Structure 1
Amino acid sequence: MAEPPRTPDGHFVVIDGRRWRATDPEIPAEAAARLRSLLMRARRDVGAARRAQDTEAEREARDRVHAAKVALGERGVPWWEQDSAARRQRWQHGLATLDR
């Protein structure tokens, strides 16, 4: 699958005319792939919880979606405003949290 176009500064991807914060490019490929996998699992769990009308499971799954998005740099403090050490700490903490 081709990468979506980015804004000239590289901070956002543009999809259907909307800007979305890009994933932090400093995250190593293996870690980014693991975080995306955990994000997709959490999104599937949101859907399953909604179908089951399990509000507690839905809240837990949504919290995992948020944690993965923060770890990827797509939410929270913009990755371009953080130094490399803070960026590394962000994605490592996200992986540790989501692997529990």
Structure 2
Amino acid sequence: MAGRQPFKTPDGRYLVVRGRLWRCANPSLPEPRRKALVADLMDARRAVGQAKRNDDATAMKEARAAVDDAKIALGERGPVWWDDGAPDLNRHMARTTPYAEWYAGISGGER
């Protein structure tokens, strides 16, 4: 996938990476808030890496909790940000979801 952007489902709820759906951030977040949360997420991911390098279980637990907190605040985890009652298909394979026909029709479903 080098150099290519992942597909986004027509409703904007998911990115498709290697055939799997990943929930997008809530598009109604104000841009300054979204940027701050993304910065928090990146800091937390760096902390995960540092904890791994240091083999520090306590730091790892804290860093992973910080990643989860940022993803929940972004809307990528936790309660869904849409209100039409559609189920959360996060981490499902696109070909096994209501997006299957759409996914099969885009670039052979390869991205």
Give yes or no for TM over 0.5: yes
Structure 1 residue 9 displacement after superposition:
1.7
Structure 1 residue 30 displacement after superposition:
1.0
Structure 1 residue ranges without an equivalent (≥5): 83-100
* Equivalent position to 1:30, from 29, 32, 35: 32
Structure 1 residue 14 displacement after superposition:
1.5
Structure 2 residue ranges without an equivalent (≥5): 85-111
- What's the counterpart of residue 49 of structure 2? 47
Matches of residues 53-92 of structure 1 in structure 2 within 5 Å?
Answer: 53-81=55-83
Which residue identity is paired with 1:21?
Answer: R
* Structure with more helix by fraction: 1
What is the total number of aligned residue pairs between the two structures? Answer: 82
Q: Report the TM-score, using the length of structure 1 for normalisation.
A: 0.74
Structure 1 residue 2 displacement after superposition:
8.1
Which residue identity is paired with 1:66?
Answer: D
Which residue identity is paired with 1:7?
Answer: T
Which residue identity is paired with 2:77?
Answer: R
Bigger Rg, structure 1 or 2: 2
Inter-CA distance 2–80: structure 2 relative to 1 (3 Å threshold): farther
Moved segments of 4+, more than 2 Å: 1-5
- What's the counterpart of residue 10 of structure 1? 12
Q: Report the TM-score, using the length of structure 2 for normalisation.
A: 0.67
Structure 1 residue 3 displacement after superposition:
6.0
User: In structure 2, what is the Cα distance between the partners aligned to 1:15 and 1:53?
Assistant: 30
Larger relative CO (CA 8 A, sep 6+): 1 or 2? 2
Deviations 1:36-69 (A, max 9, x none): 0110110010110111111001100100000000
